[in-house]
A and B are shown apart, each in its own frame.
Chain A
């Protein structure tokens, strides 16, 4: 990943009549980054993707994709991006090969046959290339739609719910493929409801609900919202030992749960040795130390709850 933003939005807004689907969204995506757009249904994820894919005209604000201004250089943007929409949108009566050949022509690529073979092989569909897409399983259709989005080697790839409705095996295949793409240095914008998937794949995520609620790397968001909790597994934990930790100014919270002491520590890498020393000196028999890892789902739910509270407060 390099530090040149490939997507920059500035107060990007989209209204449909009275409804504001996206409200003043400002963000930037670095070249080569896998960027997650998270949010509940109706949060404006698909609308944002459609604006960035030059399919919808913003009502206000502006955005640049791959160096081109949305609304001014839409044809150039469409050449630079690949889109996997929510629904694969394939021609059922055409074969896999015919589908790709058609879209290859739309992108005006010169080596359609080569590119078709490359991606059908990569996605395990080469042997089914002559079969009508109507006979394909949902997973196969999704893979073919991904092949279509990549056919012209776009700089930016928009994947709208790429694993939605897929069985675990197909989801895994798609995820692995996205990981491979990340290795190629392509910029990927991923919208998903699968927070585990976003946590695993995304370098950074934006949590939106009409407007931007949070934007950072999943780990950073966890840290910002919940701090870092270190778990000290002891042979026997008690309140006295917990009390020895409370005197440290860098520990904000101490809890005893069974034979564990959990402490919210500012900088564990630096402060853990001091804490361990204090525990051992206090007579603790330390078995092992770990960090309590919050899931991205916890972060997401916390953000949504805070947003709801804020909205109710306004009302």
Chain B
């Protein structure tokens, strides 16, 4: 445990001195929190949606809105739509950190002395992984709380705001978010073991954000309904995927290959 803690602290000391990483890690959560707040500011009351009935919304939304009327349901639709954007933060942030921390070790040739110590591969990967996951999850949670507080202040209908604290979104933010983070880190570790430039690793890892974007678009277009059942299945699938991906990340992180082929 001490070794993992030392790796996490070392990673933070190193990675956050890289301005690009610092920018990516801080800019994305700020943007994703600020953008919906600005939109909410201009559409903060349901008065702007007067005349909208639940029939005008995707049919599956009716079940989610419950007792809310058409205009309030529309507002709830907008408010919750952005919550899915928050799911991108725990994927992108750790990918950036992990890409730089692992490929960085490669380029600065610090891996050899590290691998010559009694530290295990699992300790290295858990340490490096958590160094990416912790800030990603924390920024996601902080962003969510800021957004919820902003929504509380800007949306007049408290019934709409209270929907932000539904079990659906609690699971999404506090369970699915960390699981997505773990997925991002494992993918980055695997990609980092095959490339020599952190930017390349980050760009390739970026492809794996697409499913989250797809989820966002799917809900927006009504193709997917993100309800409690969906999010629970998603959490279960991610948990299984994380275990499989971490197993492969450990397998791919071959000390010998790293030393003899990473140049």
Contacts and interface: CB of A to CB of B under 8 A. Distances in A.
A27 interface: no
A108 B6 CA distance: 10
B259 A53 contact: no
A89 B256 contact: no
A57 interface: yes
A54 to B, nearest CB: 8
Contacts of B5: 105
A83 B113 contact: yes
Nearest to A158: B116
A89 B108 contact: yes
Contact of A106 (B13, B17, B117): B117
Interface string A60-92: 000000000000000100110101010101111
Interface in A81-115: 81, 83, 85, 87, 89-94, 98, 101-103, 105-108
A92 B105 CA distance: 11
Given A83-B112, A85-B109, A145-B113, A91 B14 contact: yes
Contact of B118 (A83, A85, A98, A107): A107
A50 B259 contact: yes
Given A55-B256, A89-B112, A103 B14 contact: no
B31 interface: no
A85 B17 CA distance: 25
A254 B191 CA distance: 69
Nearest to A79: B118
B4 to A, nearest CB: 10
Interface residues of A, number: 31
A107 B117 contact: yes
Given A16-B260, A57-B256, A78-B118, A102 B10 contact: yes
**Most A CB atoms within 10 A — which of B17, B116, B117?**
B116
Interface in B77-107: none
Contact of B110 (A55, A79, A91): A91
Contacts of B56: none
A105 B109 CA distance: 19
Contacts of B256: 55-57
A55 B259 contact: yes
Given A91-B14, A93-B14, A94-B14, A83 B2 contact: no
Interface of B: 2-3, 5-6, 9-10, 13-14, 17, 108-120, 255-256, 259-260
